[in-house]
């Protein structure tokens, strides 16, 4: 197995773990944690392809990963702000109890 | 495939699994930090020093702390009586397993065609900085605006609305 295949398999496993967490947990914060894991798995793919790709000196994959990290930070801030706002409104973060869109 | 890679991969996957499976939400956040650290070391193992240290600064330094703050502000550390998993957990697990099966199959099918190990690219932080203000200056500006908007938006969303207090 080439090193790249190993990194891709780890990223696939991490993505699936994050997806399972996002789909099965009840706490909204844990769902966000699952989404963060999925984003990180994608970043690992980008960096691995940058490292073993034909032109690493062009820095394309590295730049994509760095911008992705910045966007993920913005996503985490807004997502956790929304969770806090929902908790203040509904007094719960249990997603199974949030079954209406009207406030 | 070196021993270091297997060690780091095991650390990362174990952290991810613990972050998803543990009952106590604070323990989940700490396990998430372990997974982030394992990923940062994997980046260093891939000769991407800048991305590795950016990962440590942004994820362990900021995102994990934000998650812990959110858990404490929402009293999320109390384990609910009726389990931590949703009623439809079996369907979610099946979807995730299916996604992993497809991704793993695709990787293993293309594994013989993937490039072999190459010499480490000699990329300095100076080159990354030059690329950021030269070829990637427009995305950099857009990310700056996005971060500003996201931070102001997060503050406004989470701000206490005094007039509508019940």
Q: A74: which chain B residues are within 8 Å (Cβ-Cβ)?
A: 146-147, 149-151
Q: Is B32 on the interface with A (CB under 8 A)?
A: yes
Of B69, B85, B96, the CB nearest to A26: B85
Would you call A12 and B93 a contact, using CB atoms and an 8 Å cutoff?
no
Q: B115: which chain A residues are within 8 Å (Cβ-Cβ)?
A: 2, 4, 52-54
C-beta atoms surrounding B74 within 10 Å = 22
Q: Is B74 on the interface with A (CB under 8 A)?
A: yes
Q: Is B86 on the interface with A (CB under 8 A)?
A: yes
Would you call B13 and A78 a contact, using CB atoms and an 8 Å cutoff?
no
Of A29, A71, A87, the CB nearest to B67: A29
Place of tokens 């994050």: A18
3-state per-residue secondary structure call for chain B: CCHHHHHHHHHHHHHHHHHHHCCCHHHHHHHHHHHHHHHHHHHHHCCCHHHHHHHHHHHHHHHHHHHHHHHHHCCCCCCCCCCCECCCHHHHHHHHHHHHHHHHHHHHHHHHHCCCCCCCCCCCHHHHHHHHHHCCHHHHHHHHHHHHHHHHHHHHHHCCCCCCCC
Is the model more confident about B43 or about B76?
B43
Give the model confidence (pLDDT) of B91-124 as tens digits. Answer: 999 999 999 999 999 999 998 888 887 788 888 8
Chain A closest-CA separation from residue B75 CA (Å): 9
The answer to whether residue B139 scores a pLDDT higher than 90 is yes
Q: Is B139 on the interface with A (CB under 8 A)?
A: yes
Give the model confidence (pLDDT) of A32-78 as tens digits. Answer: 999 999 999 999 999 999 999 888 888 899 999 999 999 999 999 99
The answer to whether residue B88 scores a pLDDT higher than 90 is no
| pTM, 2 dp | 0.91
Tell me, what's the pLDDT at B147?
Answer: 94
Distance of alpha carbon B123 from alpha carbon B125, whole angstroms:
7
Q: A36: which chain B residues are within 8 Å (Cβ-Cβ)?
A: 32, 59, 63
| CB within 8 Å of B52: residues ≥ 6 apart | B40, B41, B43, B44
Distance of alpha carbon B96 from alpha carbon B7, whole angstroms:
24
Of A22, A57, A63, the CB nearest to B121: A57
CB A10 within 8 A of CB B103: no
Tell me, what's the pLDDT at B76?
Answer: 64
SS3 A21: helix
Tell me, what's the pLDDT at B124?
Answer: 87
Q: How far is CA B34 from CA A23, B27, B28, B63, B76, in A?
A: 21, 11, 10, 13, 20
Distance of alpha carbon A13 from alpha carbon B158, whole angstroms:
34
The answer to whether residue B166 scores a pLDDT higher than 60 is no
Q: A23: which chain B residues are within 8 Å (Cβ-Cβ)?
A: 86, 88-89, 91-93, 95-96
Average pLDDT over residues B48-63: 93
Place of tokens 């908790």: A87
Of A5, A40, A57, the CB nearest to B36: A40
% of chain B with per-residue pLDDT over 90: 66
The answer to whether residue B164 scores a pLDDT higher than 80 is no
Would you call A63 and B150 a contact, using CB atoms and an 8 Å cutoff?
no
Tell me, what's the pLDDT at A15?
Answer: 96
């Amino acid at each position: 197995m080439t090193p790249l295949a190993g990194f891709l398999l780890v990223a696939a496993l991490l993505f699936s773990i994050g997806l399972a967490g996002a789909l099965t947990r009840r706490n909204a914060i844990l769902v966000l944690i699952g989404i963060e894991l999925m984003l990180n798995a994608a970043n690992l793919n980008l960096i691995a392809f940058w490292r073993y790709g034909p032109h690493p000196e062009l820095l394309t994959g590295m730049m994509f990963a760095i911008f992705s990290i910045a966007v993920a930070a913005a996503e985490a801030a807004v997502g956790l702000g929304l969770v806090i706002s929902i908790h203040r409104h509904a007094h719960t973060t249990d997603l199974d109890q949030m079954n209406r869109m009207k406030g | 495939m070196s021993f270091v890679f297997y060690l780091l991969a095991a650390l990362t996957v174990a952290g991810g699994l613990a972050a998803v499976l543990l009952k106590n939400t604070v323990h989940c956040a700490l396990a998430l930090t372990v997974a982030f650290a394992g990923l940062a070391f994997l980046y260093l193992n891939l000769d991407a020093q800048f991305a590795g240290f950016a990962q440590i600064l942004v994820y362990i330094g900021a995102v994990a702390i934000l998650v812990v703050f959110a858990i404490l502000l929402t009293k999320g550390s109390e384990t609910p009586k009726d389990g931590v998993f949703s009623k439809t957990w079996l369907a979610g697990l099946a979807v995730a397993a299916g996604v992993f099966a497809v991704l793993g199959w695709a990787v293993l099918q293309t594994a013989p065609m993937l490039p072999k190990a190459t010499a480490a690219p000699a990329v300095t932080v100076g080159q990354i900085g030059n690329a950021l203000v030269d070829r990637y200056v427009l995305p950099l500006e857009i990310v700056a605006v996005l971060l500003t908007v996201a931070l102001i938006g997060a503050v406004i969303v989470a701000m206490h609305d005094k007039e509508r207090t019940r």
